[in-house]
Amino acid sequence: MELSVILEIGTSYTRGIVIQPNENGSYKIIAMAEAVNTGVKKSEIVNKDNTITSIKTALKSLSLMCGGDIQIRSVNLIYSGGNIDCEQISGMQTLQSNNAVIEHGDIHNALQNAKTTHLQEDRFIVEDILLDYMLNGTQRVDNPIGMTAQSIHTNLIRLHVDKNRIENILNTLEDCSLDYEKVYISGLCSALGATTPQQREEGVLVINFGGGSTTWAAYVGKNPRAVGGIPIGGDHITNDIHCAFKTTAKISETLKRQYGSATIISKHQLLEYQQDFTNKVIDQCDLSRVINARMDETLRIIHEYISRDNLIEAITNIVICGKGALLNNLTTLTSNIFERPCKIANPPLPANLIKPGANTTAYVPLIGAAECCTKEAILEERKKRSDNKIKKIFQKIFG
């Protein structure tokens, strides 16, 4: 099967991986790279030229890691904007007679009826994911083929994003002479890359703390039940520190990474730094209060979303990932707010491809997308083989 390239255009970095899908459902990562991106703020393109430079730099690194003998013409895009939303939709198909046997055509019609559900013109549909089926409006089933019923409902979850923002990204890819094969949602990919099927079956919430946005996905059973995103990320914390202490953006980022804490530190400790050729100090306790205010707000917003969908009781564990997941004591604060165990994701990356000091948890959504791309590649390969068999049969019959 052909190589697949996965790209995430983030607020601070453009990250990409190249994978080799295998027919058994596994894949091999043969290249991974990242490039600084100064053209995106709050997960939205604000400088197209800088974003193009970042994309081309990342792709060049990927090509070199593959021996320099591949030309990347298309990518699978991970969208990580803070305007991600989801809604449940359904479609019904009445069967031709009472207690008729359900066939594939009935399911197809019910799915098509669901997909005609109206969406605001300023939204872009990324994906409609099948959740389950319902017979006669009451009985939920996973596979209704061969069962009898008077009607069949299909229940789906629709993922959609801001139309203008996603089109700006797709246009930027076009300016890089790139096609896109498919768009994936960061929160959904993060859940797939950070958890096992068993964890998802038991109920898990995965939160990706990015630079310009925070995305999440909640799984209960084998399917996602809530997916979303808000335009609040690590860069907002950096700006909060800048506003509170009048520090430069660079010093604010350094203070956050080295001494910051998601929980409030009660012990007073003076932190020294130099700015404008002057020695200055701030109290680590005050620093933690500024950071805690922002992180507490972010997590409670997500908690409200999950509670709105009545999923809190079904969640047994929480996994965090992304650029901001390494903030000190963030797992503790998350556990306190959700009253669930929390851990940082540890994605399965090849040790020989990891650069020293790299934030490996930031690659979690790319790992999840790799699983999706592999499944798509297998289906495409099977379709090609089936088409070839049909072609050979026709050639044999008609010459």
pLDDT of residue 68: 79
- Residue 162 scores a pLDDT above 70: yes
Helical spans, DSSP H, in the chain: 48-65, 104-115, 163-175, 186-194, 197-202, 234-245, 249-259, 284-308, 330-338, 364-398
- Looking at per-residue pLDDT, the higher value among 383 and 366 belongs to 366
The amino acid at 186: S
Paired tokens of 292: 């805690």
pLDDT of residue 393: 65
Paired tokens of 358: 């790299």
List the 204-209 sheet strands across, edge first. Answer: 223-230, 214-220, 204-209, 317-321, 342-344
Choice among 146-150, 283-287, 382-386 with the minimum mean pLDDT: 382-386
- Residue 80 scores a pLDDT above 70: yes
Burial of 312 (0-12, 13-18, 19+ CB in 10 A): middle
pLDDT tens digits along 6-19: 999 999 899 999 99
pLDDT of residue 194: 96
Q: What is the mean pLDDT of residues 226-253?
A: 95
- Looking at per-residue pLDDT, the higher value among 80 and 389 belongs to 80
- pTM for the model: 0.91
Q: For residues 43, 47, 52 and 58, what is the CA-based torsion angle, rounded to 10 degrees?
A: -50
Q: Is the dihedral of CA 137, 139, 143, 149 positive or negative?
A: negative
Which DSSP symbol is given to 59?
H
Supply φ then ψ for residue 189, to 5 degrees.
Answer: -65, -35
Question: ∠86-89-95 over CA atoms, to 5°?
Answer: 160
The residues, ordered by sequence, that sit 6+ positions from 366 with a Cβ below 8 Å of its Cβ are 6, 8, 15, 16, 17, 32, 78, 189, 193
pLDDT of residue 382: 77
What CA–CA distance (Å, rounded) separates 173 from 168? 9
Q: With respect to CATH, is domain 85-160 assigned 3.40.640.10?
A: no
pLDDT tens digits along 386-397: 767 666 666 666
- Residue 63 scores a pLDDT above 90: yes
Choice among 26-30, 51-55, 299-303, 378-382 with the minimum mean pLDDT: 378-382
Q: What is the mean pLDDT of residues 47-60?
A: 96
Supply φ then ψ for residue 286, to 5 degrees.
Answer: -65, -40
pLDDT of residue 351: 87
pLDDT tens digits along 170-195: 999 999 999 999 999 999 999 999 99
pLDDT of residue 224: 93
Buried b (16+ CB within 10 A) or exposed e, 235-263: bbbbebbbebbebeeebbbbbbeebbbbb
pLDDT of residue 399: 59
Q: What is the mean pLDDT of residues 137-157?
A: 91
Q: What is the DSSP string of 207-220?
A: EEE-SS-EEEEEEE
- Residue 42 scores a pLDDT above 90: no
- Residue 380 scores a pLDDT above 90: no
pLDDT tens digits along 305-364: 999 878 999 999 999 999 899 999 999 999 999 999 999 999 989 988 888 878 899 999
Domain residue ranges in the chain: 85-160
pLDDT tens digits along 83-113: 899 999 999 999 877 778 999 999 999 999 9
Q: What is the mean pLDDT of the chain?
A: 92
- Residue 243 scores a pLDDT above 90: yes
User: What is the pLDDT confidence band of residue 381, given thresholds at 50, 70 and 90?
Assistant: confident
